[in-house]
Structure 1
Amino acid sequence: MSGARRASELPAWPQYDEAERAGLVRALEQGQWWRMGGGEVDAFEREFAEHHGSSHALAVTNGTHALELALQVLGVGPGSEVIVPAFTFISSSQAAQRLGAVAVPVDVDPETYCIDVAATGRAITDRTKAIMPVHMAGHVADMTALRQLAEDAGVAILQDAAHAHGARWEGRRIGELGSVAAFSFQNGKLMTAGEGGAVLFPDADLHEEAFLRHSCGRPPTDRHYLHKTSGSNFRLNEFSASVLRAQLGRLEEQIETREQRWPLLSGLLAEISGVVPQGRDKRCDRNPHYMAMFRIPGISEQRRNELVDALVERGVPAFASFRAIYRCDGFWESAAPGETVDAIARRCPNTEAISRDCIWLHHRTLLGTEQQMHEVAAIVAEAVEAP
């Protein structure tokens, strides 16, 4: 690699300034550092809900817990099934499996990498309790078709919006799409406090039950340990909430930058022989671009992994794409479907291909300058064309 072109230094992530510092001091000096005594979590929930077009938000410890809690209040448990995309981070399936429900993987669209509507329809049974579309890399799944499918089948939708802060579908924000949605604030996410999560609810009853369950079944005014439901401690702390309030304040500006840079970078990547950037449905009219994703169809997984290493060595924050969830040992530990890996793979050809040939770049790449988009594309071209 000696003498190879290197990218100039891209913006760092996470980003912070005096807003985060002021928030942490504010949380510190209020004298109460958990949500039942402080005001930061309450304020963040109001601000996050309003920003995403919802009346009810609940902040929790992380995105995986957000999914698990949301599924629980939707009635998911032993004996039920949850349909999930086969191409996703494994928390999507494990959240259902930890509740005793069977996670049913279905294939994804080869252009957007989001859950395939037709495959979802074929997977619905009388045990299906919920459909979990993942808004992959910030691209909203086909919520129009999925909502109709769910209504016809009488099942719930839980949006896994861990990548989709600030996203819109046909002009509507995530909280305006009529279903529960779960978000993550893990260190790499579009907003972060290192860890954290949130759930948006379309009605007050679901929010009230979720609040109880995220606080060991205990109402906020309880003084006598009258735990009304089962649950766990998924409460977010005041310090994390203060940081997230600051992060929310710059989210839209960062999305605007990424929305300007992705058309440039994706166009340059598309000019490289064999490279196919992630596509976009025009109905997704606001994509926050959690990842800059592209495929090299026909490449071997080993060669893909070598390309990732080469890009990282040249200063490009590249990663191999998610492995198909059914090809992870953890998927089979509990509440797995009654199928073999090969059987699932046969009905998920797009997932098989994308898991093998896809590369993603950290979203901080898209916070760079236009010149840096040309640099990154040139480095990708050199790495792909190298023997």
Structure 2
Amino acid sequence: MGSSPQSFEFPAWPQYGEEERNALNRALDQGQWWRIGGSEVDTFEEEFAEYHGAPYALAVTNGTHALELALQVLGVGPGSEVIVPAFTFISSSQAAQRLGAVAVPVDVDPETYCIDPAAVAAAMGPRTKAVMPVHMAGQIADMDALEKLAADAGVAILQDAAHAHGARWQGKKVGELGSVAAFSFQNGKLMTAGEGGAVTFPTRELYDSAFLRHSCGRPPTDRKYFHNTSGSNFRMNEFSASVLRAQLGRLGGQIDTREERWPLLASLLAEIPGVVPQARDERNDRNPHYMAMFRVPDLGEERRNALVDTLIERGLPAFVGFRAIYRSDGFWESAAPEESVEDIARRCPNSEALTRDSVWLHHRTLLGTEQQMHDIAAVIAESMAGA
């Protein structure tokens, strides 16, 4: 028999302890609570950049702003296009649209759920300024193929790494892949201060441009209000940075645990009739597993939704998968492509299917015990039989 809701005592999220408390007191006691006068944000940026193998990192207010700022310093604006996966959280497209650029959704791989390089190649045109692979649930997109496409076309890559803290591709960390990457520290993410974001950069020039634009165009040493560029206030505060420094210290051990648990859970899920777990590209040799994702092909959206409700009732932190971005009204409000919903849907069959049949479990489930992986699978199997 499966577990009752009361038996699922997964680790709480967020995780915190004396490290975070001490960090907050340290930020408080320095008497300067914004980044220009304090030291927590500067130190966190150095530590985060080093952890990810990046020359530079810039901390910002949230992950959506991280994407928007990164696109801006890469030259994205009105008249340009950004290729994004159709299956992603809508911030990926809205960051481009907020800058006046058209977001062009393309299909994803049906097994890894990451952007399909062949679909990217088909969508490239004279106005393409950037390609935005999303490392879905911690699975790094096919960066080998994407880097070649981008280099041949002379366009930039912006990695949406909101799910990929600590990930590695063929031994290289996210910041070592040679392109800009954007991260999120929202409350559910792999490390969090409630909100927050960061951008890693391969060059000093890009970092300097981003610093100006994230601080209203003002250099850090300016005292006479000379604003060198346009921009906004995307600065992170000292308290958030202090918490994130403590969270970064927890990240590696948590990834180790999830890397041990997911192969077991995935193998158990694969044994359940009708359940297909997210596949792993073995070139992604360290996956932080932001979500434990699986599909229930042919179940249909209504029954998938009912299945998720049942899983929640049984004590699992379960969620429906993302809706294809072009199937949300917000996508069409500004800077949308000159296509209909159905036009895009026809060239994005995998994203259409994932909209209807994908399910995910919060990553704290993968911090549970080996026995809990068996219990999770048992509950999903029983719920599937009922569905």
Give the TM-score range, shorter chain.
Answer: over 0.9
The answer to whether the Cα contact below 8 Å between 2:167 and 2:286 also exists between their aligned partners in 1 is yes
SS of 1:223's partner is coil
Letter in 2 for 1:11: P
Separation in 2, partners of 1:154, 1:370: 47
Specify the SS of the correspondent of 2:319.
strand
Q: Secondary structure at the match of 1:181?
A: strand
**How far 1:55 sits from its partner (Å)?**
1.1
Give the match for residue 19 of structure 1: 19
Counterparts of 1:92-241 in structure 2, within 5 Å, are: 92-241=92-241
Q: Alignment partner of 1:59: what SS? A: strand
Deviations 1:318-342 (A, max 9, x none): 0000000000000000000000000
Contact 2:3 2:375 (C-alpha < 8 Å) held by counterparts? no
User: SS in structure 2 opposite 1:83?
Assistant: strand
Q: TM-score, normalised by structure 2?
A: 0.99
1:5 is matched with 4
Asked if the contact 2:130/2:157 (under 8 Å) is kept, the reply is yes
Q: Distance in 1 between matches of 2:286 and 2:245?
A: 21
* 1-structure distance, mates of 2:200, 2:4: 45
Counterpart of 2:293 in structure 1 is: 293
In 2: Cα distance, 1:66 partner to 1:239 partner? 18
| Secondary structure, counterpart of 1:229 in structure 2 | coil
Q: Report the Cα distance in structure 1 between the residues aligned to 2:220 and 2:126, rounded to whole angstroms.
A: 37
Q: Is the 8 A contact 2:191 2:244 kept in 1?
A: yes
Secondary structure of 1:284's match?
coil
1:347 paired residue number: 347
Q: Partners of 1:247 and 1:344 in 2: how far apart?
A: 40
Tell me the amino acid that sits aligned with residue 314 of structure 2. Answer: R
The whole-number CA distance in structure 2 between the counterparts of 1:8 and 1:244 is 28
SS in 1 for 2:175: helix
| C-alpha distance in 1 between matches for 2:386 and 2:349 | 28
Equivalence for 2:268 = 268
Q: Which residue of 2 aligns with 1:330?
A: 330
Q: Secondary structure of the residue that 1:58 maps to in structure 2? A: strand
Alpha-carbon distance in structure 1 between the residues aligned to 2:3 and 2:313? 9
The one-letter code sitting in structure 2 at the alignment partner of 1:194 is G
Identity %: 77
Q: Which amino acid aligns with 1:242?
A: S
Q: Distance in 1 between matches of 2:386 and 2:77?
A: 50
Aligned match of 2:386: 386
Note if contact 2:97-2:103 (Cα within 8 Å) is conserved in structure 1: yes
- Displacement of 1:4 in angstroms is 7.6
Q: Contact 2:4–2:315 (CA<8 Å) still a contact in 1?
A: no
CA distance in 1, matches of 2:291, 2:54: 25
Partner of 1:250: 250
2:67 is aligned to 67
* Aligned residue identity for 1:294: F
Residue deviations 1:145-189, cap 9 Å, x none?
100000000000000000000000011000000000000000000
Structure 1 Cα separation of the partners of residues 183 and 3 of structure 2: 39
Q: Residue 282 of structure 2 corresponds to which residue in structure 1?
A: 282
* Counterparts of 1:250 and 1:8, CA distance in 2: 23
Q: Distance in 2 between matches of 1:122 and 1:4?
A: 47
Instruction: Confirm or deny: 8 A CA contact 2:8 2:316 kept in the other structure.
Output: no
Shift >4 Å, 4+ stretches: none
Distance 1:244 1:167 in 2: 17
Amino acid at match of 1:180: V
Going from structure 1 to structure 2, the CA distance change for 1:27 and 1:303 (only over 3 Å counts) comes to same
Matches within 5 A, 1:37-76: 37-76=37-76
Q: Residue 22 of structure 2 aligns to a residue in which SS?
A: helix
List aligned pairs for 1:79-98, cutoff 5 A. 79-98=79-98
Q: How does 1:363-374 map to 2 (within 5 A)?
A: 363-374=363-374
What is the CA-CA distance between 1:9 and the residue it aligns to? 1.1
CA distance in 2 between partners of 1:296 and 1:336 (Å): 31
In the TM superposition, residue 260 of structure 1 has moved relative to its aligned partner by: 0.1
Alpha-carbon deviations, 1:202-259, whole Å to 9, x = none?
0000000000000000000000000000000000000000000000001000000000
Counterpart CA distance in 2 for 1:4 and 1:211 is: 50
Question: Structure 1 residue 5: deviation in Å?
Answer: 3.4
TM-score by length of 1: 0.99
CA positional deviation for 1:116: 0.1
SS at match of 2:355: helix
* Aligned partner of residue 375 in structure 1, secondary structure: helix
Aligned letter for 1:343?
D
- 5+ residue gaps, structure 1, are none
What whole-Å deviation, never above 9, does each CA across 1:239-284 have from its counterpart, x for those lacking one?
Answer: 0000000000010000000000000001111110000000011100
